Structure formats: C-alpha cells, structure tokens
C-alpha cells in the first residue's frame, strides 16, 4: 500500500528514491464489518460479485484482451459488455457494502438509506442523490478513495465521489451530482431489482487504466504520455 502523499512526492522527484510501500500479508483492505454483516454478504452477495469479476477479467485480460488492445489509444474507449442470467440486485448490494466498508462512518450517517440497503437483503430502492457507476479497469494499480474526494473533470464540473478501483472493475459512488461522474456505466437502477431476480445485462462501459492515484482518472498509458508531453511543451513555451 502507498499513500497519495508518497506518490505525489515521487512524481515531483522521479529520479529520487522509490517510495516505500507497506506490505499487508493478509491482502488489501481492513477489518470494518461486524461478523454478522460479513457472513451475510459472504453468503448472499460475494458469489455474485465473483461471477461478475470473472467475466470482467476474461474480457479485459483474456484473448484477445481489451486491456492490451487499447493501451495505445489516446481517446476514451468504450466496450459493450454482456452478462447472462445474473442477479444485478445482489451485485449492487455488494458494491454498496464494499464502498461503505472502506469509508468513514459519515457516509452511512449521511445516507442511512444506503446503510439499510446494504444490510437488508429485502431492501430495494435508493435516493437519487446516490448514483453508482461501473467501469472496466485494467490497472496496473489498484486504488481507493476512503472518503469523499472532489474530482474535477475536464468540462464535467466537480464531483463528490467514493471509488474502489481494482482490476477488472472500478466501482464508483457519486453524491448529489449535477452531471454524470463518468460518461457510461451507470448501474443505479440495479437498486430497484430484488436479490432473487435474474436478468441478462447489456451495458456500455469505459475501458479505464490506473496510471495515477486520482479517482475517475482512467487515461490510458498513451493518453498519459501525450498529456505529459503537451504540459512540458506548454511550460517550455
């Protein structure tokens, strides 16, 4: 694990010593769920998440592999993604659980409906202030914003987001947005689906990369290089 301060310090001095990362032998994450909630999600929601992750990983890293195919594209690339006979309600409940688990208690305190939605298997529906998004995420870095982050997008305004990005997906919660946090992949309507309801999901998603620690930054390596070159040229001028 590496904090954003160390990341930015290394960016400011790329020729300096490599930043020290903290190794967690037990894997990423933290103990933040009680035993009852952990057992509930593990039994009802995690198997559904696993099916989505397996399908996403196959699309990104299988043959031919979207991640490698579009690394040199400077523009934003989208994929039409399909999953047959899935349970979208269970998937979104696990996404909500993960974002709550990694965030300060203030998120659940501000939106008790979100906490109730994650804890109650029979609960459906969420306030419109809560918008969820899903993007295909190729890494190479995993990142999480464990609290509200003001993310400014070019032409997209300011967004208050929570993000957990770990290949093959980035899971995003946007609060009280005025414009969409990202251009595709809104899955908020999954909240209207019961956990036992099945569906064939077809959706368009961004193919994103994790070259920086900043939420909603899905630029490809080629786009990163082009932006750096343009910035250096502007400074030189």
Per residue of the chain (237 residues), what is the pLDDT tens digit? 666 677 667 666 767 777 777 777 766 767 888 899 999 999 999 999 999 999 999 999 998 899 999 999 999 999 999 999 999 999 999 999 999 999 988 999 999 999 999 999 999 999 999 999 999 999 999 998 876 656 554 556 788 999 999 999 999 999 999 889 999 999 999 999 999 999 999 999 999 999 888 889 999 999 999 988 888 888 875
Alpha-carbon gap, residue 92 to 195, rounded angstroms: 9
Predicted TM-score (pTM) of this structure = 0.88
Alpha helices in 82-186 (DSSP H): 88-102, 106-110, 112-119
Alpha-carbon gap, residue 21 to 39, rounded angstroms: 31
Q: Give the chain's largest Cα–Cα span.
A: 60
Alpha-carbon gap, residue 237 to 220, rounded angstroms: 26
Q: Residue ranges of the domains in the chain?
A: 33-236
Is 86 in a helix, a strand, or coil?
Answer: strand
CB atoms within 10 A of CB 6: 16
User: The tokens 């899935």 sit on which residue?
Assistant: 86
Alpha-carbon gap, residue 226 to 224, rounded angstroms: 5
């Amino acid at each position: 694990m590496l904090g954003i301060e160390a990341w930015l310090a290394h960016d400011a001095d790329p020729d300096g010593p490599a930043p020290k990362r903290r190794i967690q032998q037990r894997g990423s994450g933290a103990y933040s769920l009680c035993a009852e909630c952990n057992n509930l999600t593990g039994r009802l929601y995690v198997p559904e998440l696993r099916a989505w992750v397996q399908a996403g990983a196959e699309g990104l890293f299988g043959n031919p592999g979207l991640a490698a195919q579009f690394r040199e594209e400077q523009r934003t690339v989208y994929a039409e993604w399909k999953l047959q006979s899935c349970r979208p309600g269970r998937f979104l409940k696990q996404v909500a659980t993960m974002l709550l688990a990694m965030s300060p208690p203030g998120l659940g305190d501000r939106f008790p409906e979100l906490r109730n939605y994650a804890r109650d298997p029979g609960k459906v529906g969420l306030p419109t202030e809560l918008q969820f998004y899903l993007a295909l995420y190729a890494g190479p870095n995993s990142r999480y914003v464990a609290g509200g982050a003001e993310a400014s997008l070019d032409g997209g305004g300011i967004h208050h987001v929570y993000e957990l990005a770990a290949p093959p997906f980035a899971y995003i919660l946007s609060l009280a947005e005025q414009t969409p946090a990202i251009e595709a992949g809104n899955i908020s309507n999954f909240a209207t689906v019961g956990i036992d309801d099945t569906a064939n999901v077809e959706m368009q998603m961004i193919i994103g990369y994790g070259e920086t620690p900043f939420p909603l930054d899905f630029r490809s390596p080629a786009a990163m290089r082009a932006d750096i070159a343009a910035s250096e040229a502007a400074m030189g001028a």
